[in-house]
Amino acid sequence: MKTDVCMILEGSYPYVVGGVSTWVHDILTSLSDVSFSLVHIGVSREVADEPKYELPPNVLDFRQVPLMDSISWRGPRFQNKRAAWKALDRFIEELSVNDTSGVRNILERLDPARAGAITPYDVFHGRQFWDLLVDRYEKFYPDFSFIDFFWTLRFMALPLFRVVHADIPEARLYHATCTGYAGLLGAVASLRTGAPMVITEHGIYTNERMIEITQAHWIYREKSTSMVPTKQVGALQSLWMRKFELLSRIAYDGSARIYTLYEGNRQLQVQGGANPEKTGIIPNGIDIEKFDGLSLSHQDKRRGPPRVCMVGRVAPIKDVKTFIRAAKMISEEMPEVRFQVLGGRDEDESYLDECERLVRVLSLKSVFEFTGAVDMKEYYPGMSALVLTSISEAQPFVLLEAMRIGIPVVASSVGACAELVFGAGPDDEAIGPAGFITNVRSPRETADAVLSILRNPDRANAMGAAGRERVGRYYVRRNMLDSYREVYRQFCGGS
């Protein structure tokens, strides 16, 4: 069955709560007259989580693409694939000078429905690919471990084939919710069906992967021969980075339109190869009426000890440790303050253990709590300040929600946080600041900002009022939904 829109998701809805998943569910449930199919790209069927959302009735098809599940498709034997291998060899040479013009040809050469296509068996077990791999190793990595180089490329290739061989639903429009593997699948679907693809990037995919790659312990990094300490990126890390840069270029080139949340992200997309004429901005929006009821009771419920909360899952990208260290500094000057991390605890158990150990080491156990996932409507009222110490964000819903309620905010200088707190233009800036912006990984700055809010009720109230006004003027949910309704109408004739 052909749907209006096939939404392509990577590591998010319906298995993860918050962020992109909140946005996806809002679009699906609000645009009830648009029919959707969903494709979720995950790690493996064996490790798939239970869905956190119930799919609405206008979702007519749901499929999964497990990136790391085995694949053994061989194709007909004895086919002459000389032209395909020559095309792949030429494409790899072109990539060394950042020429991605051959992407369309290579995607066609990998199409399992095409005679003479290069198959996973050819790549994982064939002599031609082995010769090609050895040639590249000798040219570019002669001083590096061949075994590590070989297994890294095999590990990179498997998810690409899983995407290229995915069972793609028919749709009038393909909507990828990021670049990466989702953007690649969207480009493949558009190429094979002739239907257009649009992309919405909340955070810039390549930037987020770069952060993960530089911090990853599972990627081997060769030992430096220098006596001087450096922050050198290893050869295998560079390979992974080049892969994700290529995936983004493929997605950008294969899209009809590219959307993001704010101007800073749009500029990063252009720097990453997106055609500026394709790009556009559709900000997040919240249901302001839903939070206005909470704001009426906010002052009444803000009684007892001041409560400072960080909202987000316990994961390295949220940099919970900076919040904990800031809490120690605040507690030394205002012992009555209580601290909470409101968000899921099960994403990274080792990081959670490290955070809980840090709380104990800093003697904060009596004033610090990890609540796990909660109903935020029960926790927003009574907050004295909301803190985000993330090292990467896009346009966080939690800031918009807290600001609309009138809670002063403290956020690290990532994504659109500065625009949300200070404004995005002269008229917006004239409203006034809704809180403070700090440098990334700055416990002292975070603590000082929170202390300034707690010690100055008049300033805190003014910041709360500015946040309420800014969200009500620029970040309204119905405007976001109207924008996507128009996108779908334009590309697939939705009403």
Helix (H) or strand (E) holding 7: strand 3-10
The two structure tokens encoding residue 447: 């603590």
Q: Contact at 8 Å (CB) between 24 and 13?
A: yes
Length of the chain: 495
Strands 409-412 and 385-388 come out as parallel
Sheet holding 368-372, edge to edge: 368-372, 338-342, 307-311, 385-388, 409-412, 435-438
What are the residue ranges in the chain where pLDDT is below 70? 46-48, 73, 75-78, 215-233, 295-303, 493-495
pLDDT of residue 105: 92
Indicate the CATH number for domain 3-71+165-284+482-492. Answer: 3.40.50.2000
| Residue pLDDT, tens place only, 370-386 | 999 999 989 998 899 99
Taking Cα atoms as reference points, which of 7, 12, 14 lies closest to residue 172? 7
What's the pTM value of the predicted model, to 2 decimals? Answer: 0.85
CA distance 433 to 180: 35
174 - beta bridge partners? 6, 197
Taking Cα atoms as reference points, which of 321, 315, 318, 373 lies closest to residue 342? 373
pLDDT of residue 152: 87
Taken in order 96, 97, 100, 103, the sign of the CA dihedral is negative
- Domains 3-71+165-284+482-492 and 288-475 fall in the same CATH topology: yes
CA distance 294 to 292: 5
CA distance 220 to 223: 9
For the chain, what are the domain ranges? 3-71+165-284+482-492, 82-155, 288-475
**C-alpha neighbours within 13 Å on the C-beta side of residue 73:** 17
CA distance 380 to 462: 18
Rg, the chain, Cα only: 24
End-to-end CA separation in angstroms for the chain = 19
| Residue pLDDT, tens place only, 200-210 | 999 888 888 88
Taking Cα atoms as reference points, which of 374, 247, 229, 232 lies closest to residue 314? 374
CA 224 to chain centre: 32
DSSP output for 11-68: S-TTSS-STHHHHHHHHHHH-TTS-EEEEEEES-GGGPPPPSSPPPTTEEEEEEEETT
288-475 fold: Rossmann fold (3.40.50)
pLDDT of residue 184: 97
CA distance 174 to 3: 10
